Structure 1
């Protein structure tokens, strides 16, 4: 798939890559947000009275708001436009159009298009004071200042709408979303703001249990391992409220994953894929496949995970070769899936088999984005770093000299990396590169028998990971640092220290299979029989659907048999 290197082509690639990679990020779940959602799809129900004269315009408007609540932005935009086609002087229709250009939790905002929509808004006697309040708030969202400042100003304006109209559940729901959209990485008040948003959404859901927006925003507010339990009822309800909204099928898995509920996490993604697998290739939610693959890996369902991975090149082959947007999207997802599979299964011989074709097919594309100025250069570099990391870890495991080559490549990338967060990832590229380099070096040292050096290097990597909070979804570092440090400490004959590292790993990523297994081994080697039995039993229960014959299952069964519990 050739790519020219003209300045025009490079700029074009950057544009499509920013769109598609963001759509593949931690907070985004469709290659084309809202694409493929039928106008008749069941997305839930709300009550949002307006001054619309006709029932049809009101119905279109309300349908648009419902679509907004599940981030079906294309459908929402279409409904709002149809409402204003019916009634060109229906001002709330233009409010909705402007709102559809603000994909706040996905980090995308088409400010120019939104401001154009707002030029249609005129004051008049038909507008109610409540509608004027909504219109004033959205004008703050697209007013003066940078996006972060405008997001905060909009949240303040929506707070006033809520205060002035305490019975307006839509105002409360959109205020909760505005608060979530105002949070930035590193914000010291970020957690408090998320908790406030969650409390508001919970209150809306208490008053209206079937509200799709409130139920949805509860999941985003509590999407971390410490608070996810508060969102479990909403996670169980969202897909029932909006059964044909793709985001409603995917989003509960955020909470299930945070709680280590792997069967539930897998089933939600399976339902979404079943809904989409026969859709046109470009409308399928391949981000969903990565989450499903990760859930399968945590259950030891390696054959099923590999089958998902094999769908990616097949999908790429079925798509028009000149669609660079799809190439960027599928490269990001395919790379993440391949790296996760190799690292989780320890099947290091597959690293070259899966990574080399990706580099061959998309290397020029990624290189073009890396050379183009823009906020999403880092994401292209992240993709390249995963290629290097996968090959480097495989080489380090085999004590191959190629490991040092990969370490040097990552170090060279570090020297050119910025300190800003990767959009959709939540980590600065610099920290990702340092951790990847330290992990390869630690495994390489361990392969040479230099275990003290390996442990020291991994302790530095773990300190870097600890400087950021746990992130939603499959870990972008692929191999969590505390888990690897625990494994190296076990190799070094230091099980008590290893046990603490596995405990730390499980606090950040609940019920990860490798961390559970490591914790069981660490307890067993210390003679902590009861803890070891309990942890091995948890692992075996988690792997009850695993492939037959895996050595981890045999190890677990042997220990439990020896202790008389199996």
Structure 2
């Protein structure tokens, strides 16, 4: 190599000795460093925008979820993504999932997702708003104000150094509304109505936000159901109209939003059948929109129950239990997993099965609840679910499954008495009023069912046996103690233990007391009536005055809900059954059968398709000599129970007394035969 060639290579020249222009080399260097800088800036941006970034090409919030969270995100209804102030897509994903869960009342899991979002972006203000709202269950009449206030305090700490000013107007409007809902030093009415007004303003201003509309509608429904009971009838009518108009408008623009559909079903879950019929479409749509939600599957049964459509009640609640089972199996959860939704649906499923005479299927559902309650040592709501299902199965099966055990198959000896569920501690404040209704309500009805299993259809000798007498007396004494305890709240308010702001709870407690007193009266009447049938004439004049008192209480109770958890032994049905049972020993059988017929008619007006009331109507018509009417009722019952247990006594009776099937039409002769016959 020549010296000139070597010199050219060292200096960057060409092999032929020519020199590369210096300007070209400079441009190349600048271009390389420029590309490197662009790539570096892009990576910095990606790191700041995405935590643990996936594929940027199709990055969406759901890309930052995993496992069953993805199933839920895609299975709880489509959402309109309105991005709150955050640059973390993983935080946004958990916030949005929490929002979906919140709109479907999956409160415990929603709280978890909101807290996860906060941990990923401590300045994601809307995640704190969502968690705070999860501590208020307006349609369940429960709230935890202290917990919600603690969440808002955490938000304020995280939003220090004027970060709040960087939030959007929509976010600040949400925050102001939620602060009003959990404000200190103001009444329940003021908190609920102020929040409702502010949230309706948010929905009006941000009409592209279906969640704002859903929360606004829920706030109106919450006023209608408030434990405070502060609305006059005219005010309640106006609030209901506003809720219907708001839900109608928003659902028109967002037809598949699960929250809007959910609250529409609640809006139309009313006694008026014309209004209730409006709930069928949103109920079905809700189930389709949110297949992963147990509550979304369950809700349409609220409407179907209003019409006595038991096959749909069973189907929707079977789907609800299956949705919870699927989720809990995927996350390896135990019996506490999605408990409020799963076991609530199982209770409704069993109730629907009894109304279709499916005692075997109902017993299987009950036995599952036995296992669940045992796994939780029969505590809390698990004991309540078990006791209510025990009472339903015992009373609705008409003793056809004998004395079903409360805890196990062996737990059905004559002396068996349901273990105490309700603590008789005095009511300390208005906040625990619910805990002084549902546990005693469940226990009182279980005790009533136990008495029923020992005396209904039994001989006087059996009723008067030492073991039966002792068990019945003990059960009645416990019911008496439960009822007596319900007077505590009124007394506490009178002596100043409760504050004036709690006064609104006193009427509610009075209604609870009336429900429990009804059970007390029915238990006494039950024993007297069957003793009368057995031959103890001294009891024949005792039971009807007791049932008249129970009926008066029943008629004065404001709610005529169809909820299975409340309608365990509705007074018209219970009264009618005792009237029919005592017809053979009545001084005026016609009057008694006629009164029974009236009781069952009332029952069916309030609880359409109620199996025992259809059976009772048939029996009353038969006792009155109205054969055609009796046959019609028996036929309706047989049709309703066509998939039930063939050996269930009520179904056997119905089939035996139903209208005979019409004979098949005469077979027409074939064309050729007809031609021959016509020419013969």
Measured against the shorter chain, the TM-score band is 0.7 to 0.9
Aligned to 1:274: 322
Map Cα deviations across residues 166-186 of structure 1 (whole Å, 9 max, x no partner).
Answer: 554322211111112222355
Query: Does 302-311 or 74-83 show the bigger shift?
Result: 74-83
Conserved? CA contact 1:331–1:362, under 8 Å? no
Map Cα deviations across residues 200-246 of structure 1 (whole Å, 9 max, x no partner).
Answer: 32332222220100110112222233242221111111111111112
1:128 to 140, 161, 168: 168
Structure 2 counterparts to residues 32-47 of structure 1, below 5 A: 38=69, 40-41=71-72, 42-47=75-80
Bigger RCO of structures 1 and 2 (CA < 8 A, at least 6 apart): 1
**Whole-Å Cα distance in 1 between the matches of residues 620 and 232 of structure 2?**
36
Q: Is 1:232 aligned with 2:301?
A: no
Query: Does 36-45 or 254-263 show the bigger shift?
Result: 36-45
Map Cα deviations across residues 522-559 of structure 1 (whole Å, 9 max, x no partner).
Answer: 33444555544443332112101110122322322232
2:256 to 196, 199, 210: 210
1:443 to 497, 511, 526: 526
CA drift at 1:430 = 1.8
TM-score (norm 2): 0.69
* SS in structure 2 of the partner of residue 463 of structure 1: helix
* SS in structure 1 of the partner of residue 521 of structure 2: helix
CA drift at 1:52 = 2.4
**Whole-Å Cα distance in 1 between the matches of residues 68 and 220 of structure 2?**
27
Conserved? CA contact 1:81–1:97, under 8 Å? yes
Map Cα deviations across residues 349-390 of structure 1 (whole Å, 9 max, x no partner).
Answer: 8447437959999846x3656468443244333343234222
Map Cα deviations across residues 235-288 of structure 1 (whole Å, 9 max, x no partner).
Answer: 111111111112112222222222211111111221232334455222152222
Aligned to 1:308: 365
**Whole-Å Cα distance in 2 between the matches of residues 503 and 111 of structure 1?**
45
CA drift at 1:474 = 0.4
**Whole-Å Cα distance in 2 between the matches of residues 113 and 149 of structure 1?**
19
Q: Where do 5+ consecutive residues of structure 2 fail to align?
A: 1-66, 491-503, 534-538, 584-588, 665-680
Q: 1:369 to 1:149 in 2, by over 3 A?
A: farther
**CA radius of gyration, larger in:** 2
Q: Is 1:478 aligned with 2:568?
A: yes
Aligned to 1:342: 394
Structure 2 counterparts to residues 181-220 of structure 1, below 5 A: 181-182=222-223, 183-184=225-226, 188-189=232-233, 192=237, 193-194=239-240, 196-220=242-266
TM-score (norm 1): 0.82
Q: Is 1:461 aligned with 2:550?
A: yes
Map Cα deviations across residues 94-117 of structure 1 (whole Å, 9 max, x no partner).
Answer: 222222222332333232232232
**Whole-Å Cα distance in 2 between the matches of residues 78 and 405 of structure 1?**
45
Conserved? CA contact 1:348–1:394, under 8 Å? no
Map Cα deviations across residues 440-475 of structure 1 (whole Å, 9 max, x no partner).
Answer: 222223221455643332222122112222124205
Q: Where do 5+ consecutive residues of structure 1 fail to align?
A: 1-35
Conserved? CA contact 2:406–2:418, under 8 Å? no
1:386 to 423, 445, 453: 445
Conserved? CA contact 2:614–2:637, under 8 Å? yes
CA drift at 1:412 = 3.8
CA RMSD of aligned residues (A): 3.4
1:64 to 98, 106, 122: 98
Map Cα deviations across residues 300-327 of structure 1 (whole Å, 9 max, x no partner).
Answer: 000111112122333345x3xxx56x63
**Whole-Å Cα distance in 2 between the matches of residues 536 and 262 of structure 1?**
17
Map Cα deviations across residues 69-100 of structure 1 (whole Å, 9 max, x no partner).
Answer: 11122333333334444443332232222222
Q: Is 1:559 aligned with 2:657?
A: yes
Q: 1:237 to 1:526 in 2, by over 3 A?
A: same
Q: 1:188 to 1:439 in 2, by over 3 A?
A: farther
1:178 to 216, 219, 223: 219
